[in-house]
Amino acid sequence: MAKIDLYSRDWCDIIFEGKNKQYGAYVMRAETGKRNGKAMLAVIIILLAAIFIPALVKTVMPKQEIETVTTTQLSKLEEAKVKDKHIIKKVEPKQQEPQRIKSSIKFTAPKIVKDEEVTKDDEMKSQKELGESKVAISIADVKGNDDVHGKDIADIKEVITSKPTEEQTKVFTYVEQMPSFPGGESALMRYIAEHLRYPSAAQDQGIQGVVMLRFVVEGTGQVGDVQILKSLDPSCDREAIRVVKSLPRFVPGRQQGRPVNVWFQLPIRFVLQ
């Protein structure tokens, strides 16, 4: 069978015989061979450029010297020598020396002797002299550690107290059981009305209104820190703080069954009659 060139002009004429050759399909089919040839030539040029351009660049560009880095294995390094091994010394924590105190001896029964055998130092002291004396009277022995240079136990006035915990110092805004005044709110208002004194300076200026304040009801029920939330007049503010600080003990607030510190808000009215 003879080979047929489907893209030849003769073959196109046979296919489009009797048809409108001005139609674009005829032109495209007739020029397909040229387009394929141009595409193939472009591909060959790109391949040749990809192959020969790097080689050409190497020949044009000057050769760069590549530094050779020699890596030394750490295992082959010699161990550092210490000239004086006594330079490095172990630092021991400094221990605080215990306070030196003299031994105290518990009271012993007096020995009865004749009057002429009693010296001035052995005479019994009066109650006033005992109060002014530095001698400590104890019911138990205290074994000291330095009877010559140590201090007398009566001269040691250091008091060891435990720091309050965070729960003891924290002030709550709301708790399970809020603090209350004995007798209720009416008793609280009655106490304030009976003990509040209207400042004369505020009366002369016709000042009246409300001082809004808050204070801490401590776990013991006592009134603690007092703060002014809304001021009326300096004299009225001071009087409101004074009355609040004079309040008797509250029933303290409780959180999880334990008494705690709680903020208590209270308005105090100054009204001219």
Q: Give the residue among 13, 16, 8 at the shortest CA–CA distance from 34.
A: 8
Burial of 214 (0-12, 13-18, 19+ CB in 10 A): middle
| Residue 268 neighbours by CB under 8 Å, 6+ apart | 192, 196, 210, 211, 213, 240, 243, 244
Tell me whether residue 10 is in a domain.
Answer: no
Tell me whether residue 12 is in a domain.
Answer: no
| Residue 156 neighbours by CB under 8 Å, 6+ apart | 99, 101
Pair of tokens at residue 255: 């959180």
Within this chain, do residues 172 and 204 fall inside the same structural domain, yes or no? yes
Within this chain, do residues 142 and 172 fall inside the same structural domain, yes or no? no
Tell me whether residue 191 is in a domain.
Answer: yes
Place of tokens 């505020």: 202
Within this chain, do residues 259 and 215 fall inside the same structural domain, yes or no? yes
CA–CA separation, 203 vs 36, rounded Å?
Answer: 112
DSSP letter at 90 equals -
225 three-class SS: strand
Within this chain, do residues 185 and 139 fall inside the same structural domain, yes or no? no
Domain that holds residue 194: 166-270
The pLDDT score that the predictor gives to residue 57 is 80
**Cα separation of the two ends of the chain:** 133
Within this chain, do residues 255 and 228 fall inside the same structural domain, yes or no? yes
The pLDDT score that the predictor gives to residue 121 is 59
In tens digits, the chain (273 residues) has pLDDT values of: 555 566 666 666 766 666 666 666 767 766 777 778 888 889 999 988 888 888 788 777 765 554 444 444 545 556 556 555 555 566 566 666 666 766 665 445 556 666 666 666 555 555 445 455 554 444 445 566 666 666 665 565 554 455 666 667 899 999 999 999 999 999 999 999 999 999 999 999 999 999 999 999 999 999 999 999 999 999 999 999 999 999 999 999 999 999 999 999 999 999 987
The pLDDT score that the predictor gives to residue 72 is 47
Tell me whether residue 240 is in a domain.
Answer: yes
Within this chain, do residues 264 and 172 fall inside the same structural domain, yes or no? yes
Sign of CA dihedral 68, 69, 72, 78: positive
Tell me whether residue 205 is in a domain.
Answer: yes
Place of tokens 């004369």: 200
Neighbours of 208 (CB within 10 A): 16
What's the structural domain count of the chain?
A: 2
| Residue 143 neighbours by CB under 8 Å, 6+ apart | 103
- Which DSSP helix (H) or strand (E) runs through 209? strand 209-217
**34-82 pLDDT per residue, tens:** 778 888 889 999 988 888 888 788 777 765 554 444 444 545 556 556 5
